Structure 1
Amino acid sequence: MAARKPTAKLLAFGAEVRRTREEAGITRTELGARVAVTRSYISQVELGRTKCRRDFTERLDKALETGTTLADKWDELVRSSGYPKYFADFPLAEASAVMLRAFEIRLVYGLFQTEAYAGAILESEEHVKERMQRQKILTKPNAPSVFVVLDESVLYREVGSPGIMREQLEHLIALSERNNITLQIAPMGYIRGARAPFVIATQPDRSELVYLDNCVTGETSGVPDDLATVTETFSRLQANALSPSASVELIRKVVSERWT
């Protein structure tokens, strides 16, 4: 029988178990002994290949002296989120990712949006708060490496007001100075395969999920063919985009010429 493919929720929970165990400085064998399971079972949990019971997470918290950290994480992952059904799993994969690669053709990438920009396009204050909460992964310890390609038209498309656009583009410039962030602008023009936005989330075990966007809904996929296609497309986008330094210079120019 083929092994069950880990879900985004299990991968996210497993990554948290591994993080807390490594911070405690103990091996899987040692943790297994403390909670009366095998090293193999700890490995399965950390790799997202099995769903443990909540009472087991309480035993983990006790063994690792982490209060209710893992039990709270388990509760967070199993309860319903406020995200649309088609997007619900992806923020979990995003939160546990070691690398994110994103392409946006219409709007600024969600994790790079200012609160005012997000407020101009989202339907409720709750959705804006959720987006701002997601952005905390950019500055957390061991933050993921983030590579983003924005279509040049995004810089010129007014969202909200000129003031909001100026603030947003200045925010992009500030983000580009962070060591874990690489931002590039793709000049307007045809690039094969770059028809719609997508985000690839690479997990600690190097498995990947991609969120594929469209004008109505979207889809989270771990299908190898989908991943191969978007990975190739992203490489092509990076090759055709301006360098990071030239991209920042273009953003500065657009701020001064259009949004001042």
Structure 2
Amino acid sequence: MTFCGEFSITAYNKRLGRDIRSIRKLRGLRQCVRDCVDRGQCKAVNYHRDSLQCQLLGDSTTDLSDLMDDDSFMFIDIASQRTVFSSCNVSCTRGVCVKLSSEIDYCSVPRCPLTFRYSSQLNFCYISVDSGKKFADAQAYCETLGCRLAIPRTMDHIMFLNSEFSNGYMNNNKYRIGGQWNTEAGEWRWINGNAVFDSVNLNLTDFQISSNDGDLMWDCDSDLRQINTGNGEKFLCEKVL
């Protein structure tokens, strides 16, 4: 049997408290997910990070309010995380096919977690964080989620964020993003090293950038604008897919 689709964490610090079918000890996270898929009737897992305990569940949910708060656990819904294909090598077009010791082919394809917002057109997956942090601290926080500070690299990305705020999916109309002035290079750069402004994606003259210093912020009123590096601002994390 061949499995395709990278598991992603549905919810951190939460667990589902019903229909625990089996508890398995000393399991890595990937093994826990695979045990659930192999079982057939398993629909989700609660995974205890400290004790490596794997709880296989006969029920699941996509409503996060159904979950119980528990700092030691993470919850993974199986149905929304992976798709079964007939051949990993044939069907794994967006991922990497990995041969497991069990001789099962595993196709690693990142998915946007259910707690994030996603644009299928842009393949852009983000979450807004409503606590104020400086640039380095914000980036460090995003990394704990397996993310980076968001890179809205085109006007389509910026317009998507504008529409997200207009439709009520953000609590604030401006957020720190992953762009800074790079003194050594003499240009604005994203945290992945690419130039922010070029002739293809974004033009510097279209935005309120008054001097060559500081960081960048997405602002629904002005699209992109400059901020002081030392300011503690709310920010956007992006999961790279």
Q: Report the TM-score when normalising by structure 1.
A: 0.33
Structure (1 or 2) with the greater helix fraction = 1
Q: Report the TM-score when normalising by structure 2.
A: 0.35
